[in-house]
């Protein structure tokens, strides 16, 4: 996307055999989750960690303040979606996946992941990508554009493992929305793991341990 810094890319100390593309949340940037790397199986699974930056755009719910956002958010109910912004971000992430495949990493060894807005884009993109991916990791987020889901998902990723986690005290993306999103995906035939944690809109040590185990399962 125009005027957006390149992704932060961190190579494993072992041979590169897989990749995780991890999208940050609203107002954050590519460095937001850099500190989590030491807790992930990057060496064991040969994971190239890729942290892209969202473009800077006005965000309506924040009085039009300019910040990094994968799409605009109009109001707190999260139902009025920015279809243009979502489509642009999906195209950008698909481009990153394509680059990794061209670099020699099989699609089946690529995970798309994200937190909050980034998690929503991970689910949206992963289920529409035209090649089978290793998995989708979605933290403290929700499903975008449910009404278009069935018509747009790609058959190659119908059964792709989706690991979702959400804080029961989340006051930014309500827990009920995360729970209903997981139920929606499950009801539509997707392979869902949904775990709740007693936390707010954040990540916690137990969650990091669990997602590390999951990454080992899908990329090991």
The 47-51 sheet, strands edge to edge: 8-10, 47-51, 18-23, 110-115, 135-139, 161-167, 191-197
Active site residue 98: no
Instruction: Check if the beta carbon of residue 95 is closer than 8 Å to that of residue 1.
Output: no
Considering the candidates 18, 124, 170, 190, report the single residue annotated as catalytic: 170
Taking the C-alpha atoms of residue 127 and residue 99, their distance in angstroms, rounded to an integer, is 18
SS3 217: helix
Instruction: Check if the beta carbon of residue 59 is closer than 8 Å to that of residue 73.
Output: yes
Considering the candidates 116, 149, 166, 190, report the single residue annotated as catalytic: 116
Q: Which backbone phi and psi does 188 adopt, to 5 degrees?
A: -95, 15
In DSSP terms, which residues pair with 164 in a beta bridge?
138, 194
Active site residue 116: yes
Taking the C-alpha atoms of residue 138 and residue 194, their distance in angstroms, rounded to an integer, is 9
The β-bridge relationship of strands 56-59 and 65-68 is antiparallel
Active site residue 170: yes
Catalytic sites, residue numbers: 116, 170, 201
């Amino acid at each position: 996307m125009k005027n957006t810094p390149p992704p932060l890319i961190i190579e494993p100390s072992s041979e590169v055999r897989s990749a995780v593309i991890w999208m940050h949340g609203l107002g954050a940037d590519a460095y937001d989750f850099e500190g989590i790397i030491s807790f992930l199986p990057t060496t064991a699974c040969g994971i190239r960690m890729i942290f892209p930056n969202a473009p800077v755009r006005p965000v309506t719910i924040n009085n039009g303040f300019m910040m990094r956002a994968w799409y605009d958010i109009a109001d707190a109910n999260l139902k009025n979606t920015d279809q243009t912004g979502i489509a642009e971000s999906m195209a950008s992430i698909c481009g990153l996946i394509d680059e990794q495949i061209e670099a020699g990493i099989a699609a089946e060894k690529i995970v798309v992941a994200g937190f909050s807005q980034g998690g929503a884009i991970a689910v949206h993109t992963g289920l529409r990508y035209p090649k089978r991916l290793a998995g989708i990791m979605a933290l403290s987020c929700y499903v975008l554009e449910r009404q278009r889901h069935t018509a747009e998902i790609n058959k190659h990723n119908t059964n792709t493992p989706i690991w979702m986690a959400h804080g029961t005290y989340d006051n930014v993306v309500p827990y009920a929305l995360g729970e209903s999103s997981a139920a929606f995906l499950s009801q539509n035939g997707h392979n869902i793991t949904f775990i709740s944690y007693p936390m707010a809109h954040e990540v916690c040590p137990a969650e990091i341990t669990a997602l590390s185990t999951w990454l080992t399962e899908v990329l090991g």
